[in-house]
Chain A
Amino acid sequence: MRHVLAADPTLTDFSQLIWWMVLLKVAIVFVFLLLTTIFMIWFERRVIGRMQNRPGPNRAGPLGLLQPVADALKLPLKEDIIPTGVDKLVFVAAPIIAAAPSFVAFSIIPWGPTVSVFHHRTPLQVADLPVAVLLVLAMSSIGVYGIVLAGWASRGPYSLLGALRSTAQVISYEIAMGLSFVAVFLYAGSLSTTAIVAAQQHFWYAWLLPVSFLVYLVTMVGETNRVPFDLPEGEGEIVAGHMTEYSSMKFAMFYLAEYINMTTVAGLATTLFLGGWRAPWPVSLWAGANSGWWPVLWFLIKVFILLFGYVWLRGTLPRVRYDQLMALGWKILIPLSIVWILLIATVRAWRNETHSGVVYGTAGFVLVLIVILAWAWDSGAQRHAARLAGGYQEGAAEPAVADGGDAAQSFPVPPLDLPHYHGIGVRGGAEPGSGAITGSGASKEVTGA
C-alpha cells in the first residue's frame, strides 16, 4: 500500500517545473478538450437520436463518427458575416473571450495520481493552486463577459436580450454553485483540488454531502446554459440569443466554449464529489486500482457518465420558463444551500469539540432557524399556489392592465389576456377583431362579467 499513499501528490509537486513536461501536459489537456467536444457532438446526436427512435447521424464514416469532423471543416468555410452597425472590435473579441477561459479552467482538474513519465514522477494534472477551485469560478465569470459583450456588440434586440438572460442566469446559478462548494471545503479544509481528492480517500463527498452534490448537479446544467436551462438560446423566443449575429468560426467558438464548459464542470463534479480519479467501490477492492495509469480510466468514466447525463436531460426535459428558472435558482437552491451549510458546520463543530455549550446553543439556534425557514418557505409557497389557483379572475385582470399600458409605449405585443384564453371569446366570435385590438378593454369586460 505504500505506493498508493505516495501517489497522492501535494502542492510541492507542482512547483517543480520541467518545461517539456509542462508543455506536454498542456498540449494533452488542450487536445483532450477539443477531442471531447468533437466526440460529444457525435455522441449527443447519436444518443438523442436513439432516444427519439431514429438513427442519428450515420452517413459520414462508420457510425457517423466523421460527422463532427465534417461539421468542423464546414464551419470555417462558411461566410463570416459582421453586420453593419456592430461594435467591430468587441464583436470580434467576444467569441475569443468566451472560448479562451473555458480551456484554462480545466487545468486544475486532476486526472490521476503521480505517475512516472519518461522516468520523471509527475502528477497527472496541469497545475494546482492553493485556491484552485476559485480559478474555475473566476474563469466561468470571465466567460460571462464573452456572452455579455457578444450581446452588447451585436446591437440587435435578440442578441441583447439573450445576453442579458444568459448573464442573469449564469450569475444566479453561480451563487448556488459557489455555496455548494462550501461544504466540500469545510470537510477537505482546502481549496486545492489534489487535497480535496486526497480527502475523499474513504468516502466520496457525494455520499457525505448529498445536498451539496444535488445542488451542484443542478447548477452545473444552469451554468452551462444547457437544456432544460437553455433559455438564453431559446430559439422560439429570441432566435439564438447572444449568438444570433454570429456565423462561421466566431459562432464555432461559442459552441466550443459551451462544450468545453460542460466537460470542465463535469470534471469538477468528479473531483469535488465523486472522489476524483479514485476507483469506484467494487474496483477499489483491487489494490492496484488507484495507482499507475488506471485512475485516468476511472476519471474518464465518471466524466463521461456525467456528460451522458447532460445528453439524457436534453433528450428528456422540455425547456423551463424564465421565471421558473430564476425561482429555482433564487428561491430553492440558494436557501437550501445556505441552510445545508449551517447544518454541516454545526455538525462538524459538534464533532470537533463535543462538550462545548456554545456549540449546543448554536446547534439549537440553527435547528430552530431551519424550522422557521421551512415554515416560512412552505407558507409562502402555499400562498403562491393559492394565488395561482384561486385568483384566476383578479390575477388575470391585474397584469393585463399593466401590460397594456407599457406595451403601448415600448413595442407591439399582442394583448396578453384575450377572452378566448379563458374560453369566453368563443361566444362572442361574431366580432373577433374588437377583442384583439382593445386587449385591456376586453379583459375588463371579462372581469366584470
Chain B
Amino acid sequence: MRLYVPILVLAVLAAGFAIFSVTFGALAGPKRWNKAKLESYECGIEPTPAPLGGGKVPIKYYLTAMLFIVFDIEIVFLYPWAVTFNKLGAFALVEMVAFVVAVLIAYAYVWRRGGLDWD
C-alpha cells in the first residue's frame, strides 16, 4: 500500500482544490437571480418539462454501453496476458488467438446486424 500513498495525497489535494474552487465561485460571484435566468437553457424557448420523452434515452446508447463492456472485458484479459506473454510461450498465443477470434466473430455479428451504425 505504500506505493499508493503519494497518489492518495495528490487525490486529496486535487479534491480539496476542486471543492474549494466550486465553493469559492459560489460565494464570490454576484447573486442577481431572476426566474428566467434559473430556467434550464434551451435557446430561449420554453424549457421542455421532462427532457427527451420522459427521460428515456435512445437505445443505441445502451447498445454502445453493452459493447463497451464486452470489449473492456476483452482488454481485462489481454493486459495480464500481454505482461506474462514472454514467460508463457506458444500456449498463451494459441489460447489468446482462440479467444480473440471468438470475440471477433461476435463483433462481426454485431457489425453485420447494424449494431455499429449510427444513422
Residues of A within 8 A of B (CB): 11, 14-15, 17, 22-23, 25-27, 29-30, 75-86, 92, 95-96, 99-104, 107-108, 126-130, 134-135, 154-161, 164, 167-168, 171-172, 174-175, 178-179, 181-183, 185-186, 189-191, 239, 244-245, 248-250, 252-253, 322-323, 326-327, 330-331, 334-335, 338, 341-342, 345-346, 348-349, 352-353, 356, 358-359, 362, 365-366, 369, 373, 376, 380, 399, 410-411
Q: Which residues of chain B are near A175, meaning CB under 8 Å?
A: 68, 71-72, 75
- Docked complex Cα distance between A374 and B113 (Å): 19
**One of A29, A356, A411 near B10 (C-beta < 8 A):** A29
CB distance from B73 to the nearest CB of A (A): 11
Enumerate B33-62 residues with CB–CB distance to A below 8 Å: 33, 37-43, 47-48, 51-53, 57-58, 60-61
Interface residues of B (CB under 8 A from A): 2-7, 9-11, 13-15, 17-19, 21-22, 24-26, 28-33, 37-43, 47-48, 51-53, 57-58, 60-61, 64-65, 67-68, 71-72, 75, 78-79, 82-86, 89-94, 96-97, 100-101, 103-104, 107-108, 111, 116-119
* 8 smallest beta-carbon distances between A and B, as pairs: A249-B25, A103-B14, A156-B40, A323-B118, A185-B82, A127-B6, A178-B75, A248-B25
Contacts of A134 in B (CB 8 A): 79
- Complex Cα gap A85–B29 (Å): 21
Q: Which residues of B contact A183 (CB under 8 A)?
A: 82
Q: Which residue of A lies closest to B38 (CB)?
A: A84
- Inside 8 A of B104's CB, which chain A residues have their CB? 335, 338, 373
Q: In the assembled complex, how far is the CB of residue A218 from the closest CB belonging to chain B, in whole angstroms?
A: 16
**Across-interface contacts of A341 in B (CB, < 8 A):** 78, 100
Q: Is the CB of B18 within 8 A of A99?
A: yes
Q: What chain A residues lie within 8 Å of B14 (beta carbons)? A: 30, 99-104
Q: Is the interface of B mostly helix, strand, loop or mixed?
A: helix
Contact of B26 among A157, A179, A248, A346 (CB under 8 A): A248
A80 and B26: CB pair below 8 A? yes
**Which of A100, A129, A160 has most B Cβ within 10 Å?**
A100
Question: Which A residues lie within 8 Å of B19 (CB)?
Answer: 96
Partner among A92, A135, A155 whose Cβ is within 8 Å of the Cβ of B51: A155
**Besides A76-B29, A156-B41, A253-B22, 16 other A-B contacts (C-beta < 8 A):** A17-B2, A30-B10, A76-B21, A79-B30, A84-B38, A96-B22, A127-B7, A156-B48, A157-B42, A157-B51, A158-B42, A159-B40, A186-B82, A248-B29, A249-B25, A253-B18
Bound complex: CA of A432 vs CA of B43, how far in Å?
27
Q: Given A127-B6, A345-B93, decide whether A179 and B75 contact each other with a Cβ distance below 8 A.
A: yes
Asked whether B64 lies within 8 Å of A168 as measured between CB atoms, the reply is yes
A168 to B58 alpha-carbon distance, docked (Å): 12
Contact status A77-B89, CB under 8 Å: no
Choose one: A174, A326, A376; the contact of B108 (CB below 8 Å): A376
Q: Find out whether the CB atom of A76 lies under 8 angstroms from the CB atom of B11.
A: no
B67's nearest neighbour on chain A, judged by CB, is A330
Residue from the set B7, B28, B104, B107 with the largest chain A CB neighbour count within 10 Å: B7
The reply to whether A349 and B89 contact each other, CB–CB distance below 8 Å, is yes
Cβ 8 A contact of A349, one of B3, B58, B83, B93? B93
User: Which residues from B are CB-within-8-Å of A161?
Assistant: 52
The reply to whether A103 and B10 form a contact with Cβ atoms under 8 Å apart is yes
A348 x B107 contact (CB < 8 A): no
Once the chains are docked, how many angstroms separate the CA of A75 from the CA of B29?
Answer: 9
Distance in angstroms from A71 CB to nearest chain B CB is 13
A360: min CB distance to chain B, Å: 10
Known contacts A126-B7, A129-B3; is-contact A185 B83 (Cβ 8 Å): yes
Query: Complex: how many Å from CA A135 to CA B8?
Result: 12
Given the known inter-chain contacts A155-B51, A156-B47, A334-B71, please indicate yes or no for A92 contacting B22, CB distance below 8 A: yes
Contacting residues, chain A, for B100 (C-beta < 8 A): 338, 341-342
- Kindly identify which residue among B9, B29, B30, B47 contacts A22, using a CB–CB cutoff of 8 Å: B9
Please name 24 pairs of A and B residues whose Cβ atoms are closer than 8 Å in the assembled complex, sorted by A.
A76-B29, A79-B29, A79-B32, A79-B33, A80-B25, A81-B33, A103-B10, A103-B17, A104-B11, A129-B3, A155-B40, A155-B51, A157-B51, A158-B41, A158-B42, A179-B75, A182-B82, A183-B82, A186-B82, A191-B79, A341-B78, A349-B85, A366-B97, A373-B104
